[in-house]
A and B are shown apart, each in its own frame.
Chain A
């Protein structure tokens, strides 16, 4: 149950992000829909609800980006990590609540270890991207290079952490 609560809280944060980018009725409505679908998914433990919620949240973010309020959005990598973590938490919540029998503590520990280390490394990489964005935002010519470097940092960080965990 605790996992579902974490998942719901993170879901609300991720879904409401486009509203902070563009405070409009359309983005608020879409965010509300995404939260409702995620809640439905958590209640029924169906991936369909979570999947549609993710698609709606993605569309909402695209709508917010198209309005051109924040160009480029340097928080996008952090949002990506949060979105990925949300889906992983949902998967874990479904696993725990669907299983009728006992779950060995070692299994849950392994999942938590993987989630914390992977999202931690990805989070650090996204902070690096954010800093790169802040530094190079003035010079638009250097921005693509900074984004590639940041993406490489994310990849390297995650791969190394995964290897360390396994």
Chain B
């Protein structure tokens, strides 16, 4: 806590001093009488001023919520020795909103009293958000001296992104071993009819196709495509986060990744995550309810980290990219390292779908001829990058209107893209 004199104290001292000086030098006792109330205020006020012993804490009613949810923070303020008038302001992360009149207030805390003040908040953006620190300003008697300080009391609230629900998943390249919702190309036990073949030792009698058997006078059995799951790896380019008019590229990426992950996890697929940027992080592919929470936690910590270090996909450990996994990349295609990594994945035979999160229509051209030329050159450069990715077998789709629009369009693809080898 730092103590500071208020302008009122300075004014009182100056005016009282002038009045006393004038009274003495001019021989006018009336001027001394004029100074008397101010002198008394100073003597009584300053005599009773001392650093107040106070405490503050913050609590929230929830520690996890979804974007758009309303929550409540409760501030607890204590005064241990003397009654004190407190001006309180609470710091909030940019993803939390509170009415400006609600987040700062003045109240009176009596001696040994504990006051609670509720502040209504709204979670406006996904991420790990903080409620706090608490800034306090207290006034001594007569408001002659103020004590200011910041109490580093914080409460963390995890705000999960609100994602657009996909009606249909992305087309898978290869199915895996576990049972799921995708019809495998291979033959085996399943519901989807595949073909008919002559009976062989070990075949189940229930599979006998009696029509074909009676026609050919030889036992035939039905074969089916088994229902299997697939692997999807979500690749998030976190080298850059370009803020656009409506939302940032990282925001689009996280919402899109959430939508894909939730949809495929519901359909028993394994989902892996790679955050490829200044800080490379990954989550190996897995499935189930617990993995849903792991993905949600992972996505909350995704943020763009600036780095000069050259990075490629060799950085990622084995198992991060399971063979035959469909790679869905969300990238603004700005950083050369991310573009290279995507091309590398395509060249290694992974089916890669890249969703361009940089909405070009929101990037406006500057004024002047040079700016126009630069804008056109930038667009050409992006076309070249897309062509380069295409040559590596990476299909690029525009994320205009949000990633879910591109994902919705992609869900109607009958076959997953195959990389050119």
Describe A's contact surface by its main secondary structure: helix
Give 13 new A-B contacts, CB below 8 A, not counting A66-B26, A80-B37, A147-B33: A46-B7, A47-B11, A55-B18, A61-B34, A62-B28, A79-B34, A87-B12, A99-B104, A103-B105, A107-B108, A151-B36, A154-B40, A158-B40
Inter-subunit contact A84/B107 (CB<8 Å): no
Check B11 against A83 for contact (C-beta < 8 Å): no
0/1 string, B5-19, CB within 8 A of A gives 1? 001101110110011
Q: Give A35 to B8 CA distance when docked, in angstroms.
A: 19
**Is B292 an interface residue when CB atoms closer than 8 A count as contact?**
no
Is A159 a contact of B15 with CB atoms below 8 Å? no
Query: Taking A62-B26, A107-B85 as contacts, is the C-beta distance between A47 and B10 under 8 angstroms?
Result: yes
Is A77 on the interface with B (CB-CB < 8 A)? Answer: yes
Given contacts A87-B12, A99-B87, contact A72 B30 (CB under 8 A): yes
Instruction: Judge whether A100 and B22 touch: CB under 8 Å.
Output: no
Q: At the interface, yes or no: B213 with Cβ under 8 Å from chain A?
A: no
**Chain B 238-259 near chain A by CB (<8 Å), digits 1 or 0:** 0000000000000000000000
B89 near A: Cβ within 8 Å?
Answer: yes
A116 on interface, CB distance cutoff 8 Å? no
How many Å lie between the Cα of A84 and that of B38 in the bound state?
6
Q: How far is the CA of A91 from the CA of B45 in the complex (A)?
A: 15
Chain A residues engaging chain B, CB cutoff 8 angstroms: 46-48, 50-51, 54-55, 58, 61-62, 65-66, 72-73, 76-77, 79-81, 83-84, 87, 91, 95, 99-104, 106-107, 110, 122, 129, 147, 151, 154-155, 158-159, 162
What is the chain B residue whose CB lies nearest that of A106?
A: B108
- Chain B positions within 8 Å of A159 at CB level: 44
Which residue of A has the minimal Cβ distance to B139? Answer: A95
- The verdict on B106 contacting chain A, using a C-beta distance below 8 Å, is yes
- Say whether B102 faces chain A, with CB atoms less than 8 Å apart: yes
A contact residues around B107 at 8 Å (CB): 104, 106-107
Contacts of A76 in B (CB 8 A): 29-31, 33-34
In the complex, residue of chain A having the shortest beta-carbon distance to the beta carbon of B88: A101
Pairwise interchain contact B37-A102, C-beta atoms closer than 8 A: no
- A contact residues around B104 at 8 Å (CB): 99-101
Task: State which of B10, B41, B89 has its C-beta within 8 Å of the C-beta of A101.
Answer: B89
Distance in angstroms between the alpha carbons of A62 and B14 in the assembled complex: 16
CB pair B31 A101 closer than 8 Å: no
Residue in A closest to B12 when the chains form the complex, CB atoms: A87
In contact, A51 and B33 (Cβ under 8 angstroms):
no
Give Cα distance in the complex from A32 to B395, angstroms.
79
B300 to chain A, nearest CB (A): 30
Which residues of the partner chain B approach A73 to less than 8 Å between Cβ atoms?
Answer: 30
Confirm or deny: B143 has a beta carbon within 8 angstroms of a beta carbon on chain A. yes
A107 surroundings in chain B (CB, below 8 A): 85, 106-108
Q: B368 interface residue, CB < 8 Å from A?
A: no
A81 touches B37 (CB 8 A): yes
Residue of A58, A77, A84, A103 near B22 (CB, 8 A) is A58
Q: How far is the CA of A53 from the CA of B15 in the complex (A)?
A: 10
Nearest residue (CB) in B for A48 is: B7
Report B-chain residues with C-beta under 8 Å of the C-beta of A83: 34, 37-38
Whether B34 pairs with A95 at a CB distance below 8 angstroms is: no
